[in-house]
DNA sequence: CGTTGAACCTGTTTGC
DNA sequence: TGCAAACAGGTTCAAC
């Protein structure tokens, strides 16, 4: 569920509560298969100070400062979290009722808790040294909000894959998911099955502008809530009412009135207007 | 290289 | 009504 705008919304919400707080205790449910090393998490996270909260693609990163048990030296650690399809990260009062499928409780030093709830457990969580964290975050591609025009064009044209597959590939662009890919392609009038290498310069330019505009507006509206997603304070997003293609099969295209169609591209449901987004001749 | 399908897991919606 | 199939915002891996 959570793509760049949703993760960004969660990060901004967490920033209102977490920096400067200390994690005093960690509790886990019995289902911890989404944690790389649950023992390490329990050993290294309690007692640490949260310095900052940031986003890298769809990953949330909490910068922690851990006091060495015996000495005075402070160590930097990263708490790396991915929300998968149904992950929620919220800050609540410690006596708030516990939602089903809540698997991690970080007790804070202000009588509140940071909770991770994830029914499907497609999320991921680990504690890592900055060097180990780099192994996960390093391979991620360009940030679609910051990439230059030249880099954007190079990333789109230097590979022979469908544009939909390219945009979803986290090593090409970090943060794009199924919703914002379809919305961007609809806005730029590009069929999802077109090859990136075959896009015309003008189309590439248009696509980059469409992606930026859509991601920025989605962030402004707090992301898209389809069924599970909520921000750090439990509030849903509002961008779903602005969707023009995603999950609109059979409904009229907002531009031309043609019925939106759905087809599988890159293994994912892809929604597009067959008139505005002309299909490629081959493939 | 790139594509496809399956797997991971739970919940909800759709179809007969 | 009831049950089974299809589908879901993501990622990863094997097979072709």
pLDDT in tens, A196-226: 999 999 999 999 999 999 999 999 999 999 8
Q: Give the pLDDT mean for A218-239.
A: 92
Q: Which nucleotide is nearest to A264 (CA to C1')?
A: B4
- State the DSSP H helix or E strand holding residue A80, giving kind and residue range, or none if neither: strand A74-82
Of the pLDDT bands very low, low, confident and very high (cuts 50, 70, 90), residue A15 is very high
Residue A229: which pLDDT band, with cuts at 50, 70 and 90?
A: confident
Distance between CA atoms of residues A3 and A15, nearest Å: 18
**Paired strand residues for A79:** A62, A127
Q: Cβ of residue A251 near strand B, that is under 7 Å?
A: no
Closest residue, CA to C1' of B4: A267
Chain C bases having any atom below 7 Å from a protein CB: 7-12
Instruction: Answer for A171: CB within 7 Å of strand C.
Output: no
Strand B nucleotides within 7 Å of a protein CB: 1-6, 8-12
| Best CA proximity match to A8, nearest among A79, A51, A84, A59 | A59
Q: Provide the 10 A C-beta neighbour count for residue A50.
A: 22
| Known active-site residue A2 | yes
A48-107 pLDDT, tens digit each: 999 999 999 999 999 999 986 666 688 999 999 999 999 999 999 999 999 999 999 999
pTM of the predicted structure, to 2 decimals: 0.97
* Residue A187 phi, psi (nearest 5): -65, -35
Check residues A192 and A71 and name the one with the higher pLDDT: A192
The residues of A between 21 and 80 with beta carbon within 7 Å of nucleic strand B are: 31, 33
pLDDT confidence of residue A283: 52
Write the DSSP string, A191-208. -TTSBGGG--HHHHHHHH
Protein residue nearest nucleotide C12, by CA to C1': A122
Residue A95 CA, nucleotide B5 C1', distance (Å) = 45
Q: What's the CA A133/C1' C3 distance, rounded, in angstroms?
A: 46
* Mean of pLDDT values over A242-266: 96
């Amino acid at each position: 569920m959570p793509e760049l705008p949703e993760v960004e919304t969660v990060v901004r919400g967490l920033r209102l509560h977490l920096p400067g707080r200390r994690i005093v205790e960690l509790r886990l449910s019995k289902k911890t298969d989404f944690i790389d090393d649950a023992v390490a998490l329990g050993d290294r996270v309690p007692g640490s100070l949260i310095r900052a909260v940031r986003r890298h693609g769809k990953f949330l990163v909490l910068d922690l400062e851990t006091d060495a048990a015996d000495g005075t030296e402070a160590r930097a650690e990263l708490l790396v979290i991915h929300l998968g399809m149904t992950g929620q990260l919220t800050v609540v009062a410690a006596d708030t009722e516990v939602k089903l499928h809540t698997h991690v409780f970080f007790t804070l030093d202000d009588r509140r808790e940071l909770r991770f709830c994830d029914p499907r457990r497609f999320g991921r969580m680990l504690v890592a040294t900055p060097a180990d964290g780099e192994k996960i975050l390093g391979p991620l591609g360009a940030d679609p909000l910051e990439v230059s025009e030249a880099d954007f064009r190079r990333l789109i044209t230097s590979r022979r894959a469908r544009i939909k597959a390219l945009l979803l590939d986290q090593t090409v662009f970090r943060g794009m998911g199924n919703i914002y890919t379809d919305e961007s392609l609809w806005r730029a009038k590009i069929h999802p099955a077109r090859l990136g290498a075959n896009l015309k310069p003008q189309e590439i330019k248009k696509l980059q502008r469409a992606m930026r505009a859509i991601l920025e507006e989605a962030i402004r509206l707090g992301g898209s809530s389809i069924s599970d997603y909520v921000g750090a304070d439990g509030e849903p997003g509002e961008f779903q009412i602005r969707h023009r293609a995603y999950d609109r099969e059979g409904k009229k295209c907002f531009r031309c009135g043609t019925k939106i169609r759905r087809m599988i591209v890159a293994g994912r449901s892809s929604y597009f207007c067959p008139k505005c987004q002309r299909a490629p001749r081959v493939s």
